Amino acid sequence: MAMQNQLLACLKWMGEYQIIAYIPLDDTISLEELANLADVPEHTLSRVVRMTATAGFLHEPQLGHVAHTSLSLSFTTELSHFDAAMFLANKVAPASLDPAFFSHDQYGTGLSPQTRPTFEMLSQEPQFSRQWQAYRHNMGSARSQLAYLSSLLNWHSLGDASVVEICDNATTLAHQIAQTSPQLRVTVQTYDFTPTDTGLSGLGNGEKDSYGARIALWHIKD
């Protein structure tokens, strides 16, 4: 997890200084020249490049020079990849490291009173909206894989805990988690319209099954 956060921090730093835009698509560039173009310290740039290179993002074909890999090149041809990475670095990673972000409130929803105003404010920012849409688009193909991965986790070990799922309008995963462990309480944050016949008691539709009673829905408008 520490390694992943370091990589995200490096990508965020590159994004802030538009490092990728200065690297030739099919040639190398010296770290010194790249640092001058981006107006950043060369020693910092070198450390960041070498860190991302461990994940196959950029590489040093020769000492002191940097070039694209197929992975980093895709971030220049598919801008949505970069937006999705920025969303991970700027929003997802900080939220995952701050338990207070999803602390319980007096109504037992599993969300702090500050959560909804924060998301409403962010949803009004054009850059955030673009990055969020890119993240959703790039993660769409991974939904089936996510369901499989969740089945490998030991949900029973969490005991009487709360799980927050942030998604669009899909609630299948929340039902699967609630069925797997009878003690868990699941909160679903959705960003698109969710039909009232989804069977989630959090909507107040009187669902009586044992796992549905432990699922709360928190809908946030785009």
What's the pLDDT band for 104 if we cut at 50, 70, 90? very low
Question: Which element (helix H / strand E) includes 146?
Answer: helix 143-151
Count CB-CB contacts under 10 A for residue 146: 14
Helix axes 31-38, 42-53, angle to 10 degrees: 110
CA distance 3 to 157: 25
Q: What pLDDT score was predicted for residue 162?
A: 77
What stretch(es) of the chain map to CATH 1.10.10.10?
2-77
Which pLDDT does position 208 carry in this prediction?
37
Q: Is pLDDT above 80 for 10?
A: yes
**CATH top class, domain 2-77:** mainly alpha
**How many other CB atoms sit within 10 Å of the CB of residue 181?**
21
